[in-house]
Amino acid sequence: MFDAHCHTDCSDGNITIEDRIRLVKELKYEAATITDHDFISSEQVLRAAAACEGIPYVPGIELSLSCQGTVVHMLGYFIDPVNQQLQDHLARVQSVDREITARLLSAFQRQGASFSLTDLEADSLHTFYSMQLVRRLARDLYTTRPEALMPAFLDELYRHNLTYADLAPWPVHEAIDLIHQAGGIAVLAHPGGRTDAVMRTLGFRWHNEEQIRLYADWGLDGVETRTPVHTAIEINFYEEIAARYHLLATSGSDCHGDDPYLGPAQMGSYQNLHEGLYNNMLATLKKSRNR
């Protein structure tokens, strides 16, 4: 078995690279990957592969995108971490992310937040991702009223004439091309989640068949059909679409660690709830890549 979607503190997870791989091994998965938001590096891949101690490691990433004012995420597998076009893009993403987050943080500092932008950098590789602001606010300002955190975060965005989608104003077709240029295969992450409160609040796109067919015309390789935010109806819907357009169907927990805000699932519990992750997914990923 293979969990094809998980995070570390190199983006918005709260678990280190080595601890993520340790959990993968404890669960006896056949391979490991890390799909951090808008980040991959040689050091991350080397550390993860070394921690695997013999089980295969698939270098991965999750790109943050927007489409007509809504949020879209795209997973990439077998990514070359030193691909220059991809790294140039990730540098642009970091720049936009830091600039907007600095503006939001200034507003929250006036409300009592005592941390700086530097305090939001990841412990593992000193990377930066805006949703770490949400986690730190939860710990520092909203401990007694967690239900007010996400509305407050979005209100500050609106006061700056922004939406969550503006943090990643990158088009879907460019992301598919970037993943291919980096030697990878492109898989649409959690295309559904219509009933998930956080995804609705942040403005994630609910994808219909026409939209996925358009992505397939742009070169999309697969669809993440099984994920904690998908209902049983959505799982069936996206698996039928994947089969119709000859797209790879993947499954992932989207595990961020033990976090009520940035990841509803845990790796092992998701496996138990959904009758296990796809058996042979690693072989299917490799076959898709070779094709």
Q: Render pLDDT for 4-33 as a digit per residue (tens, 0 to 9).
A: 999 998 998 888 999 999 999 998 998 999
Q: How far apart are CA 289 and CA 71, in angstroms?
A: 26
In the prediction, which pLDDT does 156 show? 94
Band (pLDDT 50/70/90 cuts) for residue 155 is very high
In the prediction, which pLDDT does 234 show? 96
**CB proximity list for 243: less than 8 A, separation 6 or greater:** 249
pLDDT, tens only, 161-218: 999 999 999 999 999 999 999 999 999 999 999 999 889 989 999 999 999 999 999 9
Residue length of the chain: 291
Q: How far apart are CA 274 and CA 123, in angstroms?
A: 32
pLDDT, tens only, 231-273: 999 999 999 999 999 999 999 999 987 655 555 457 776 766 5
pLDDT, tens only, 29-78: 989 999 999 999 999 999 999 999 989 999 999 999 999 999 999 999 99
Which of 13, 18, 20 is closest to 51 using CA atoms? Answer: 18
Identify the H or E element spanning 27. none
3-state secondary structure of 59: strand
Cβ of 156: how many Cβ atoms within 10 Å?
18
Which residues, listed in sequence order, are joined to residue 76 by a DSSP beta bridge?
Answer: 61, 186
Domains of the chain: 17-290 (3.20.20.140)
Q: How far apart are CA 288 and CA 156, in angstroms?
A: 42
Instruction: Answer for the pair 199, 164: CB distance below 8 angstroms, yes or no.
Output: no
Quote the pTM value. 0.93
More confident residue, 270 or 140: 140
